[in-house]
Amino acid sequence: MSKSISGFSKLSKSHKIDWIVATYFNKNENAKNIIKQYWNSNIKLQQLHDEFIENTITNYYLPFGVAPNFLINGKMHAIPMAIEESSVVAAASKAAKFWLERGGFKAEVLSTTKIGQVHFMFHGDFEVLNTFFKTIKPKLIEAAKPITKNMEKRGGGIIDIELRDKTKSIEGYFQLHATFETLDAMGANFINSCLEQFAKTFREEALDYDGFSQDEQSIDIIMSILSNYVPNCLVRAEVSCPVKDLTEDPSIDAKEFAKKFIQAVKIAEIEPFRAVTHNKGIMNGIDAVVLATGNDFRAVEAGVHAFASRNGSYSSLTHAKIENDTFYFWIEIPLALGTVGGLTSLHPLVKLALELLHNPTAKELMQIVAVAGLAQNFAALRSLTTTGIQEGHMKMHLMNILNQFEATEKEKATLIDHFKTHTATHSAVVEAIKSLRKP
């Protein structure tokens, strides 16, 4: 059984590694070598990475790729993507090239409101509480002025605060439900600071409010925190073209392809088992761009999947239709993103990614990310309804299998050529390697 340790965070990085290797790897020097080989030779850059989180011992690298040829609202983009999964960048690139020749992607931000809540308990008369709230609401906003001052100068700040009665779900449970505009910042620290000030002022004012009984004055603040569910921070991206232009392959009938494609989307709209995988493919594209641009992909994931369930059943994020012989395919998705603050001004690759995207505003980045998700979904559905998903995916996965077997450059060249005309299943690749290596 591994032993515990006190004061681990106070150890130097080298001492942390020594303890881990001794305790969990039986003093195996190979483990230490693997950890150290991912250190950056640039000492200043490595120190920067070490200070992003606590107890850092090394760096964990993800491939940083680029998907070119994205025409979005008439402007060309090469989209950065940080992801480890085979075929994602290739699929996005292929979809971008397809739609480049058909007018490109259209995108618009529908709204940018973000949410934060003060959760509290109150067991008195609701009407008295409501009167109190209306009386002190201006004071809540005024007390937060030192926090909101700079944001307001840029055109953002607190939009509104509501009192919400949640006592039907939990006895005595209420919320201060606040909406914010944070412009180009994701705004988590700004929103949470405002909420904590609301809670402080709310509690203090309650103690001096004459309308409360002695028991009612004791409002119990549970917590103050932003919400990653942002259904009013919404972006729409779409593509369209005449049905007759929907395929480049003369062996595929365009009308039949459109029909099957739309049916596949409809299945994802009503069948949660399919919708989860359908949306996961969308998030392949979205998360990769969110991560490359230094945003919080966990927050995006949580908010997106909640949005997909907003009508009581988990459903597709994308939709498709044919109208007047024109094919339409679109996505509406909540995305709370930032282009200032956090890692955006610290991580060199994040700064490079944003520069690659022409230094977008938060709204422009929302549009780009939504387009990446739509492109990913189009590529996946096109494969699923024609050749099947495995043909393209396994050919992209081929290099990973070859590297697992430590194939030489000569072996790689031979096998890549072989699988241009053969189905690249894992077992087929293994058999081909064994056959190639036979004396």
> Which of the residues are catalytic?
85, 280, 296, 393
> Distance between CA 162 and CA 68 in Å, rounded?
45
Could you tell me how far CA 383 lies from the centroid of its own chain? 24
CA angle 137–153–177, rounded 5-degree value: 30
Cβ of 5: how many Cβ atoms within 10 Å?
12
Q: 248 burial class (0-12, 13-18, 19+ CB within 10 angstroms)?
A: exposed
> Distance between CA 26 and CA 175 in Å, rounded?
52
What SS3 class is residue 42? Answer: coil
What SS3 class is residue 92? Answer: helix
Rounded alpha-carbon distances, angstroms, from residue 336 to 132, 143, 184, 246, 282: 32, 26, 10, 32, 17
Nearest residue to 129 (alpha-carbon basis) of 160, 171, 179, 172: 172
